[in-house]
Amino acid sequence: MATPTYNLIASQTVGSGGAASVTFSSIPNTYTDLLVKFSARSNYNNNPEIAVLSFNGSSSSFTNKDIFGTGSSAVSQTNSASGVFSEGNNWTANTFGSSEFYIPNYTSSNYKSISAEGVSENNGTGGYQELNAVLWSNTAAITSIGISTQNGTGWLQYSTFYLYGIKNS
């Protein structure tokens, strides 16, 4: 019988004073896929925040196509960055956005395809939800993952980030 897999590689919880960004480095190349899940809130005085992905220290060569809903309308956009919705700091206190990046075959020598989802919620009076298809046009194996805030305000205390490795055998 196969061995269960879906292993926590590393986690980070933002402490008092916040963090400009979060980075998982020295990622082992022994898994098949990677999954980053995070519950986060930024210091951005607006909503939603955009959690920006970087690989191997670079946030270039990303493109994405998304769809998001606001509760009253939907929009689809093409972007040259790799963002997914998270929570800003002017909505309900103590509320954190929920987001994830799924990264299959992260050690391959092909371009990397990423599936992303994120939500931001404001006490039932407003919210955003997003589905996103992301492409990183780079053939390098992914050895580090950074997650920063698009508006540069950084992550607030109690934001949590988890990196999981998933094996296919």
DSSP sequence for 66-78: EEEE-SS-EEEEE
User: According to CB under 8 A, which one of 114, 142, 147, 156 is a site residue for another protein?
Assistant: 114
Shortest spacing between CB 142 and another protein, in angstroms? 14
Shortest spacing between CB 28 and another protein, in angstroms? 17
Query: Could you say whether residue 132 binds another protein (CB under 8 A)?
Result: yes
Question: What is the distance of C-alpha 36 from the center of its chain?
Answer: 6
User: According to CB under 8 A, which one of 102, 143, 151, 162 is a site residue for another protein?
Assistant: 102
User: According to CB under 8 A, which one of 20, 29, 30, 133 is a site residue for another protein?
Assistant: 133
Shortest spacing between CB 152 and another protein, in angstroms? 25
Phi, psi of 141 (to 5 degrees): -65, 145
Query: Could you say whether residue 29 binds another protein (CB under 8 A)?
Result: no
Query: Could you say whether residue 160 binds another protein (CB under 8 A)?
Result: no
**CA–CA distances in Å: residue 101 to residues 35, 42, 51, 91, 154:** 6, 18, 10, 23, 19
Q: Return d(Cα 145, Cα 25) in angstroms, integer.
A: 6
Question: What is the distance of C-alpha 75 from the center of its chain?
Answer: 20
**CA–CA distances in Å: residue 42 to residues 50, 57, 111:** 9, 21, 30
User: According to CB under 8 A, which one of 23, 105, 107, 143 is a site residue for another protein?
Assistant: 105
The upper half-sphere exposure of residue 24, i.e. CA atoms within 13 Å in the direction of its Cβ, equals: 25
> Of 78-97, which residues contact another protein (CB under 8 A)?
78
Query: Could you say whether residue 125 binds another protein (CB under 8 A)?
Result: no
Binding residues (CB under 8 A) for another protein: these are 1-6, 32-33, 63, 65-67, 74-78, 102, 104-105, 110-111, 113-115, 117, 131-135, 166-169
